[in-house]
Each structure stands twice: as C-alpha cells, then as structure tokens.
Chain A
Amino acid sequence: MVISLRAIEKSFQHKQVIAPLSLEIPQGQLIGLLGPSGCGKTTLIKMIMGMMKPDNGQIYVFNKTVPHQQLLTDIGYMAQSDALYTDLTGEENLQFFAKLYRLPKKERTERVAYTAQLVRLSDDLNRKVETYSGGMKRRLSLAIALIQNPTLLLLDEPTVGIDPLLKVDIWQELLRLKNEEQKTILVTTHAMDEAEKCDQLAMLRDGQMIAYDTPQALKARYQAKDFDEVFIKAGGRTQ
C-alpha cells in the first residue's frame, strides 16, 4: 500500500473534522477524494503530507510513519491556495523549488522545461507571477508539485479555475503519469466529470467516509446516471 490511514481522527476546537477514518491506497491508482466544502478533504491531505498531526490513529506512506523526511521528497504536493512567490517569475519559482529538492543543475533545467511545457506555461516563464491569471497560477502550482518527479502526488483541487480545454490536457497527463510511470495520485475535486476518471472514489461527508468504490459501482449503487446525482444521493439530500 502506498498510503495507509488507520483510524485517524482530527478535531479543531472540539469540532470533529475527521471522524475515525481508515483508507488504503495501492500503488499506481488515481484516487478521487470527493465531498462538499468543509468535509475534511484538505485536512486529510495535509495529514498525509505530515503538515498536520492527527489526534489519533496512524498514517503510513510507503510503509514509513508520517512525518518522515524522505517522504517530503517522494510526495508532490499542490495546496488548495496557490502558494507562489508573486514577485518572482514563473521560472524563478520553479528553479527555487527544484533547488529545494537538490536536483542537479542539468536535471533541474530539464524538469523546469518539462513541467512548464506540461502545464503550457513555457512561453510565460519569464513573466512575473503577479501578472499571471488565476488559471496560470494554478498551473504553475501543479508544475511545482511535479518538479522533483515524485512517485506520489497529493493534489488539492488542481483544476479549479483552469479552462476546460486545459483541464482535459491536465487529466490526460495525470492518467499518463499513472499508467506509464506507475505513479499514485490522490486528487480532491468538486468536478463530477473528473470524478469519473478516477480508479477509486472516496466520498467524504462531515469527516466520515461514506463510500469508497469505483465510479461505476457508486453509480450503480445509487442508481444514478451521473455523479452529480451520486453526490446528492450519497449526501442524503434528496429527501
């Protein structure tokens, strides 16, 4: 298992954000984390990343107990809000993060060029990030998450604010990374068309995992024709 969550719990100021939750994610899978705002998706991602400590339970990534220094290199992380140095250019941002992963100079240049091309930012690399549109910033964040060629990707709403055309491109690339390079990818999303592309979907509601299955199985279970319907039915809001 790449990620293994065992009965983890988390509360903020006596409000339970994650109820005891267990989840096993095998290698080479694209897992979607689905659920309404405030259901604990980001908290879950941050805990897997080791940036937040669960109150109870254990988290293992690549059989190592989180937090672990090595894991910070193995995991590519994209936060929900773009954390970029807006007074630097796109290239300087990418170079900076590449250096933090101690990539050799040659590899660094290659990875910067590769990830920039992947998110279609090659032509804008020399512009300051403060001149970027929201979608461009999102794409740069994604490029940074991929910069060290990590084996596990934790992407918190990677396609918010990105136009549909580019969204298709990005999902194609995610699927390619999964299929060809055996990468494990955990994505949180609101977009139901994206949910359909995942191998497995974990549906969260109020910190509880209410379903964990393939998209087809979920649709069948809730007798829904699309995921908006699954989402509504699983959320128990039809009544």
Chain B
Amino acid sequence: MRVGAVITRIFQQMRRDKRTLALLFVAPLMVLSLMYFIFGSDDKELTLVVSDVPTPIIQQLEQSDFHIVVQSNFSQALLKEKAYDGWLTMIDQTAKLTLLNDTPANAKALMMKLSQALQPTQATTITLKTNYIYGDAETTSFDIFSPMLIGFFVFFFVFLITGIALLKERTSGTLERLLATPIKRAEIVAGYMLGYGLFALIQTIVIVLFSIYVLDIVHVGSIWLVLLINVAVACVSLSLGALLSSFAASEFQMMQFIPLVIVPQVFFSGIFPLDTMAQWLQYLGRIMPLYYAADALNGVMYKGNSFGDIAMNLSILACFALVFIILNIISLRKYRSL
C-alpha cells in the first residue's frame, strides 16, 4: 500500500505537469518524424556470392569492385548466416539476384553496380529477377535504424524525466522527509519504478504505434515483442536515471549526464556499423544497454525474430535494470540505514 501511495502521488504530480507530459509523448514523435524525413531520402565493398554464373560475367563483376565468392550449392539460409550482401545465380539468360538487404543502402548500391556491370554486352539478353531476404525494394535506411530510434527515445525521455523527478525529491527535502516515515527503501524504489514505469509504458505504446502506423516503418515481427523490449528499455533507463540523480546536485548537473551517458550509447546502437569498429570499441559497446535493445528491436521489427531469438538480449537488459535497482536501494542508505 505504501508503494501504492507513492504511485498515486506520482500520478497526481504528473497529471498537473502538462509540459512534462508533452515532453514524454509529443517530443519523441516530433523528432522521430523529423528523422524520418531526413533519412527517408537515401560505400563499402560489397560481397556477392555467385553460383553457376559464366566466367566472362564473373570477370566483369570483379572489374566493378565486387568482392566475389564463387560457390555452388549456395542457399538463402547460407546467405543469411554468412551475411553476404547478395547472391547471384544464372539459369540460361535469367539472372536471379537475392539481396540480404540488412542495410538497404548497401542493397541499393549492389543493384546499381550489378546492372551497370551487366549493361554493355548482355543487358538486353539477361533478365534480372530480384528478391530480398529482409525488407523489400521499398526499404530505406530509416527503416533499419528506426527500431533502434524507438528504443533510444524511450530510453532518453524516461531517463530524463525520472532522473529529474527524483532529483527534485532529493533537493526539496521530501525524500529525506519520506524516509522519516516507516516506508522501506525498496518500497520507494518500487513506487518510482511502477509509477513512472506506467507513463513509460504509455509512451512506448504511443511511439511504437506512431512509428508503425503513421510513419509506416517496416515491421515484420510481433508488435508485442517490440513493446516488451521497450518496457525492458524503460526499466533500465528508469533505474539508471534514478541512480544517477543521486550523483547530481541540481537539474543542470543532471543534464550533464546526457553527453556522458546517453550520447555514447547512440554510437553503439546500430546507426554506425558495429562490425567495422575497432575490437576494443566493440567490447565497449557491450556495456551499453542500448546496444542490446537496438539489436533486439532490429531483430524483431526488421528481421522478424521470435521471442527465442531476442531472449538473450532481453535477459541482459533485465540484468542491467536489476543491478541499477539494487544500487538505487543501496544509495538511499545515505538518508537512512534501515
């Protein structure tokens, strides 16, 4: 019931704070839409597997900077596993191109190069059929990192709002006053998690529905899994925001955590390709909650992963949240040892 009291109080406060509510619900949609328009309009070495393709054509392709892997008995499953960019087979004069399309920009580049390479001599006689492993011809870069953006916005806004709310409670002395009542430290943390968690949940639902139905982001997996991942993300950022607020003496100091905690996570969440980073940077990415969130969200929304595929990412996120929650409870000892 004490937890309930904290939750009720948070609701009463939030209901009156219209601006914070707007920040929570409208701001992410605005930024997301902006990103949609910026990236909606779209170089690395592309790897192309060729099976049963005549040698002259292979030579042509090699001249156009493709990294060619010659392999017969290839399959879509293998393409997915090896994560090559495309697979070309030829039967008579019909070329069949299968694009991995995990990065739409690469897939588009591959298509263009391929048609250029085939043009001068045989374009008239060769017909090219294209199909896609992930997404389709309409896929844009935005589709691929928008799942991650959803996770990022949930993380960012929940972090900011809980961090500052709890900070206000610390600086106004109400937290100290609260701890002069029989409420347990765990009950305060639970109240905060559930109270702000509910707002985070509504925010997540709004962002996800907006992304899928208004911005029309590609989503092939279950919308429930998307929500589940984002709830996990919200739990992590709630607990992290609450924890870091104990290291801030003012709202201004709380804002200083944004470039320290939030921005670096963006670098590791898939906007920039991870596999080209230095090894130590890749390891650094592993300690960022958003790395796992982005991986899971991308998996579900873009690649249609099932619960089993993202279970690992989800458990890691849950561990982050659990550790932060425990640290929160410990950090409240500063006010009362019970």
Contact = CB atoms under 8 A, between A and B. Distances in A.
Interface of A: 49-51, 53, 67-70, 72-73, 75, 77, 79, 81-88, 92, 96-97, 99-102, 128, 144
A96 B11 CA distance: 12
B259 interface: no
A72 B13 contact: no
Contact of B173 (A72, A79, A96, A128): A79
A97 B179 CA distance: 11
B182 A73 contact: yes
Contact of B180 (A68, A77, A96): A77
A87 B177 contact: no
Contacts of B5: 96, 99-100
B180 A79 contact: yes
A109 to B, nearest CB: 15
Nearest to A144: B177
Interface string B29-64: 000000000000000000000000000000000000
A46 to B, nearest CB: 9
Given A84-B174, A99-B4, 11 more contacts: A51-B335, A67-B338, A69-B182, A72-B181, A79-B177, A79-B180, A86-B172, A88-B12, A97-B181, A100-B5, A100-B182
B275 interface: no
For B172, B176, B181, B335, the residue with the greatest tally of chain A CB atoms inside 10 Å of its CB is B181
Interface in B317-338: 335-338
B173 to A, nearest CB: 4
A22 B331 CA distance: 31
6 contacts: A51-B335, A69-B338, A87-B16, A88-B9, A92-B12, A96-B5
Contact of A87 (B13, B178, B181): B13
Contacts of A53: 337
Given A99-B2, A100-B5, A101-B182, A83 B174 contact: yes
B180 A49 contact: yes
Nearest to B16: A87
Contact of B336 (A67, A75, A100): A67
Contact of A88 (B13, B176, B179): B13
Contacts of A68: 338
Interface residues on B, range: 20 to 34
Contacts of B179: 51
B8 A96 contact: yes
Contact of A100 (B172, B183, B335): B183
A163 B117 CA distance: 91
Contact of A72 (B1, B9, B16, B180): B180
A101 B337 contact: no
B138 interface: no
B182 A51 contact: no
B17 A83 contact: no
Nearest to A97: B181
B337 A67 contact: yes
B180 A51 contact: yes
A85 B9 contact: yes
Contacts of A97: 181
Nearest to B184: A69
Contact of B178 (A49, A86, A92, A100): A100
A72 B6 CA distance: 17
Contacts of A101: 181-182
Contacts of A92: 9, 12
A182 B183 CA distance: 26
B161 to A, nearest CB: 14
Contacts of A99: 1-2, 4-5, 8
Interface in B136-188: 172-174, 176-183
Contacts of A49: 180
A47 to B, nearest CB: 12
Contacts of A83: 172-174, 176-177
Contact of A51 (B1, B12, B13, B336): B336
A81 B172 CA distance: 9
Nearest to B5: A99
A83 B179 CA distance: 11
Contacts of B182: 69-70, 72-73, 100-102
A67 B180 CA distance: 11
A75 B178 CA distance: 13
B195 to A, nearest CB: 12
A100 B173 CA distance: 17
B196 to A, nearest CB: 15
A87 B174 contact: no
A52 to B, nearest CB: 9
A50 B176 contact: no
Nearest to B169: A85
B16 to A, nearest CB: 5
A73 B180 CA distance: 9
Contacts of A82: 173
